[in-house]
Every structure is written in C-alpha cells, then in structure tokens.
C-alpha cells in the first residue's frame, strides 16, 4: 500500500487580456486543508487575490476525486494480494485487521463500561432475586401510596370544580334573557372549559414532577440497598424503608365482591416432528384487570399479589408477558380503552421505562416516517403501472394518482387497520409488553376471514413475541371487548373458531421463526358471557388443538 502520490493540478485564469495557467503537483492524500494549501500557492506564485475563491473550489473538488481514487486503488491492491494468498493466510490477515480495528479505533472498540440503564437493570434483577425482595416491594408500595394520594386529590378538585361550574351554568340558563344573554352563557361555558384545562394541566404537572422525583430516588435507594447487601447486614437504608412503609395509613380501597371467574386451562402439543408443549387458557374477565396493580395491607405490611411478584421477578428475563390491546387508528391516550389503560399506568410510577405519554410521542414520530414511506412506495408503484400501460392507461393512472395525492393531504401519524405498536412497562400487575393493535369497525361484521388485516397482525405479533422472548401473550378471542347485539351465539362460535384455527397455524410456524420454547396463550372473552356459551367455547379447544393426555399402560397389557 503506497504512502501517497503526487497528482498534477491545472488551473487557468484571466488577468486583463491575458490568460495564465497554473500547473502544480498536489500530494494525495492532502495532509492540510484546501484553503491553507491555496494560500501557500498564492504566496509562492504571486497569484492575484481575486482568483483565490475559484482556485479553492476547483482544488477541493480535485482533491476529493483523487483521494477517493487513491483509496480505491489501494483497496483493490489489498484484495488482489489476499486472493493470491491461501485460505489460511486470508483468515490470519482478517483476524489481524479485526484486532487492529478493535484496539486502535475507538469507534470499533467494545464498550467495556455498561450503560447506566443496563447496569441498573442488572442490579434490580439481582436484588429482586435476593432477600432484598421484601424491601423493594415496601419501597414501591410507599411510592404507589404517594401517587394514589395525588390522584385522589386531583379527582376531588376536578369534581368540586365541575360541580361549581354546573351550578353556575344552570343559574345562567334559568336567568336567560334576564341577567344573561346567549353570548354571556357561551363565554361562561368557554371560561369553564379553560378552567378545567388549566386545573388538569396543573395536576398533570404535579403528578409528573412527583413521579420524576420518585424515579430518581428509587435508583438512589437501589444503589444503597446493594451496598447494604454487600455488607451482609440490614443497614440503615433497609430499616428506614421498613419504617416508612409501616407508618403509612391503610390503603384506601373499596370492598369489592369478586364474581366467580370462568376459566379453563389446557396443555397442548404442536409441531410436525419435534412437538412442543404449550399452555392454552380461556377466561372471562376484563382485560385491564391484568394490568391493574392492587396492593393490599395485612397487619400494616404491604402484601403484593402473587402475579405482581412473578411479573417483577421476570421483568429483565427471557420470560416476558404480553397483552394485545385493540385500539383505534390514533396514537394517543384520550379515548376509549386507551384512556382507561393510561389511567392504570398513572396509578404508580414506572421506575425502569419512560412513561406512556413519552413512549407514544416517540411512536408518533416513527408512524409519520412509516406513512411517508408508504406514500412514496405507493406513488412509485402507480408510476411503474403507468409506464407499463398504454398512453390512455397512463393518463388514467396519472389522473387517479393526482386525485389520490390531493385526497391524502398532509401525512399524519394515524395508522391503518392491522398495524400495531409496542409499549413496555414495569408497573403493571401481570404484563410487561403491550401490543396496541389498530382495528376498525369491520370486526363487528361476522364475515371476516383469515386474510383480514387484524388476523394477519396476530401472526406478526406472535413473530415479535418469538423475537423478544415474550412467552405469555393474552388476546381477545372475539377481537372485541364488549358484547353487542349482533354477537349471537353462532356469531361468537364462528369468530372463536376463526381466531383459534389461525392462532394454531401461527403457533406451528414458531418453530421456523426459532420459537421452540413452551408458551402460554390466553384467550379472553368479555365479562358477563353466559355459562353455556363459555362451555361451548371451552369444548372447541380439544377439537382444534391436540391436547396432552396421560397414557394408561395398564390397559394395554
């Protein structure tokens, strides 16, 4: 490999009526800046000052082109020398290159210092599987109670404000045409709306500040608990956390009489040659109950639910739990089940991942990029179709393309049916990962088939589960959360059969995706479903899936 070459640079310029030509050798690669080299040329050859900018531009292009050619030639020579060598020599040289890159170049050197997020995750996972488990749950419970107090104060303040505003509006309407006119009533309603918005923004800011401070304090407490554990004794930090949790008042919660749960579990075998055992569960419950964290107190000591304990211990592991949430095409948390889910996420602080609003803002940015790419590909496809057709067809395709572009308008973050986005959480009861599946009103139609975008999205979600080690996933069997008038028993049976058969086919593909682990698939049906319909749905599982049964060898003697 040569150290460098000299290339001749030519430049012509005009002074008065005479043309002058400059011809100088330029070292490639050029070890100094182009402007500095031009300054030396101007001084050495007594060039006029008005040609300095032109010669700088042309020399910069010349150096760039020749430098690229120089490196390409060196690379070609190196490749040819490797081709002449044997296979062993090529392997040795490749190892030397790899070693040189990792030891000499900072950009290719391995990151010996772990990132703070990775270090904290490993530390939390280590402590949650140690005797410090009780201390961690006491600390999380203390923070959850503080958040609950703020939420209660917020709800009371908003309720009181709305009650006062309702009285004022009622009095204004009753005294219409006496003390108030239509414009005054409208201004009063607008003022009330602004006051509600201002009050909600105030409490939202207070809640966010509290959760941010809790997140910072939690990381500090974790480091101190680790130091206590290394000393082998319960230090002052652990004793202080115990005292903080014991001084808390009993958790304010309503006495709820739990309804008897409808639930059936099966063990199945899937696979052509190498069969894999999976768990299938059918249950009737509110899907958000899997997310709600319900701490209780027994004798002043916080007692987490067993499901919550298991979720925390598997947070940073290869056994995650996922939930498919059917949402509309807008990425926000303002309406429907999205608003209810956001309220559940607000009940406690997420100490490991960004809050839901932050994650949704990032997803909106990626959604705009995805929609931009979709429109570009659609335009390219229309253009290709137009070029392959005749002249009349090209005009019709072009006109349809212009109409489509005018109808599309500005690119937004709204998604299409069958799209899904993922959020991750550490403060939910039984779920780590949420798959937000975009749906439409066509799901209430009983004539959908296996090619429906939402059915195909289930395949992509299961593929993501294999990729990200989500071993348990919950999905609505009817792809709906409520029972509607058109959902008769034949409708429910037909929809359940479609979903079960499609999910079975997708699960059998998991072996090709690399998912050979045992998984748990939970199918949820709406609460309030009749016992007869639930029994009928439960009886479908043994016919669709192959159950695991114990063979009695005594009968074959």
Higher pLDDT, 123 or 108: 123
Q: How many CA atoms lie within 13 A of 99 on its CB side?
A: 6
pLDDT of residue 527: 87
Please choose, from the candidates 519, 531, 551, the residue with its C-alpha nearest in 3D space to the C-alpha of residue 264.
Answer: 531
pLDDT of residue 56: 87
SS3 category, 520: strand
The winner for highest mean pLDDT among 133-147, 387-401, 516-530 is 516-530
Please choose, from the candidates 167, 269, 217, the residue with its C-alpha nearest in 3D space to the C-alpha of residue 551.
Answer: 269
Start-to-end Cα distance in the chain:
81
With a CB cutoff of 8 Å and minimum separation 6, the contacts of 387 are 394
Please choose, from the candidates 259, 256, 277, 260, the residue with its C-alpha nearest in 3D space to the C-alpha of residue 268.
Answer: 277
Torsion of CA 390, 395, 396, 398, to 10 degrees: 120
Work out the average pLDDT over 210-223.
Answer: 88
Q: Residue 432 — pLDDT band, cuts 50, 70, 90? A: very high
Q: What is the pLDDT of residues 161-202, one digit of tens each?
A: 999 989 888 888 887 777 777 888 888 888 889 999 999 899
Task: Give residue limits of the domains in the chain.
Answer: 5-108, 119-246, 262-329+416-549
**What fold, for 262-329+416-549?**
3.40.220
Q: By 3-state DSSP, what share of the chain in percent is helix, strand and coil, each rounded to 5? A: 55, 15, 30
With a CB cutoff of 8 Å and minimum separation 6, the contacts of 401 are 379, 382, 383, 386
pLDDT of residue 542: 86
**Is 140 exposed, middle or buried, given 0-12, 13-18 or 19+ CB atoms closer than 10 A?**
buried
Check whether the bond before 29 is cis (ω within 30° of 0): yes
Q: Is the pLDDT of residue 362 over 90?
A: yes
pLDDT of residue 455: 93
What is the CB neighbour count within 10 angstroms for residue 214?
Answer: 22
Q: What is the pTM of this model?
A: 0.71
In percent, how much of the chain has pLDDT > 90?
27
CB 238 within 8 A of CB 232: no
Q: Is the pLDDT of residue 483 over 60?
A: yes
Q: Residue 484 — pLDDT band, cuts 50, 70, 90? A: confident
Q: Is the pLDDT of residue 257 over 70?
A: no
Q: What is the pLDDT of residues 69-82, one digit of tens each?
A: 988 888 888 777 76
Q: Is the pLDDT of residue 101 over 80?
A: no
Q: Are strands 320-327 and 470-476 parallel, antiparallel or unpaired?
A: parallel
CB 328 within 8 A of CB 439: yes
């Amino acid at each position: 490999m040569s150290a460098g070459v000299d290339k001749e640079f030519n430049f012509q310029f005009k002074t008065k009526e005479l043309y002058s030509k400059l011809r100088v050798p330029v070292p490639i690669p050029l070890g100094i800046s182009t402007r500095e080299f031009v300054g030396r040329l101007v001084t050495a050859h007594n060039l006029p000052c008005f040609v300095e900018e032109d010669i700088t531009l042309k020399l910069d292009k010349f150096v760039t082109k020749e430098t690229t050619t120089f490196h390409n030639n060196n690379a070609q020579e190196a490749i040819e020398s490797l081709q002449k060598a044997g296979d062993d020599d090529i392997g040795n040289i490749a190892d030397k290159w790899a070693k040189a890159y990792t030891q000499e170049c900072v950009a290719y050197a391995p990151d010996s210092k772990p990132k703070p997020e990775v270090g904290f995750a490993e530390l939390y996972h280590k402590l949650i599987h140690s005797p410090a488990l009780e201390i961690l749950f006491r600390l999380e419970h203390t923070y959850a109670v503080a958040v609950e107090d703020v939420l209660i104060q917020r709800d009371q303040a908003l309720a009181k404000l709305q009650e006062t505003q309702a009285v004022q509006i009622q009095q204004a309407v009753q005294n219409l045409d006496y003390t108030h006119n239509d414009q005054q009533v409208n201004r009063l309603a607008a003022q009330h709306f602004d006051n509600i918005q201002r009050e909600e923004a105030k409490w939202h800011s207070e809640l966010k500040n509290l959760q941010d401070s809790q997140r910072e304090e939690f990381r500090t407490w974790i480091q101190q608990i680790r130091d206590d554990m290394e000393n082998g004794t319960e230090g002052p930090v652990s004793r202080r956390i115990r005292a903080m949790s014991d001084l808390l008042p009993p958790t304010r919660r309503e006495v709820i009489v739990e309804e008897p749960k409808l639930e059936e579990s099966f063990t199945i075998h899937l696979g052509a040659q190498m069969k894999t055992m999976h768990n299938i569960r059918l249950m009737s419950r509110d899907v958000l109950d899997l997310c709600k964290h319900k701490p209780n107190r027994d004798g002043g000591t916080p007692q987490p639910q067993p499901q919550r304990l298991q979720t925390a211990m598997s947070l940073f592991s290869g056994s995650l739990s996922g939930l498919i949430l059917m949402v509309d095409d807008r990425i926000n948390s303002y309406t429907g089940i999205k608003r209810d889910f956001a309220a559940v996420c607000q009940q406690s602080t997420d100490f490991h991942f960004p809050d839901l609003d932050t994650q949704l803002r990032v997803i909106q940015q990626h959604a705009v990029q995805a929609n931009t790419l979709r429109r570009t590909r659609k335009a390219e496809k229309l253009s290709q179709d137009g070029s392959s057709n005749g002249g009349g067809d090209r005009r019709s395709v072009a006109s349809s393309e212009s109409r489509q572009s005018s109808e599309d308008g500005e690119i937004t973050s709204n998604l299409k049916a069958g799209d899904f986005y993922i959020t991750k959480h550490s403060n939910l009861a039984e779920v780590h990962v949420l798959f937000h599946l975009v749906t439409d009103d066509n799901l209430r139609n009983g004539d959908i088939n296996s090619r429906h975008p939402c059915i195909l999205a289930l395949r992509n979600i299961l593929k993501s589960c294999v990729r990200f080690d989500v071993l348990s996933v919950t999905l609505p069997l009817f792809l709906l959360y409520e029972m509607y008038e058109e959902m008769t028993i034949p409708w429910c049976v037909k929809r359940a059969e479609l979903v079960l058969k499609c999910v079975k086919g997708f699960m059998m593909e998991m072996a090709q995706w690399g998912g050979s682990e045992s998984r748990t698939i939970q199918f949820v049906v709406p609460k309030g479903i009749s016992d007869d319909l639930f029994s009928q749905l439960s009886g479908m599982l043994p016919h669709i899936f192959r159950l695991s049964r114990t063979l009695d060898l005594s009968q074959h003697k």
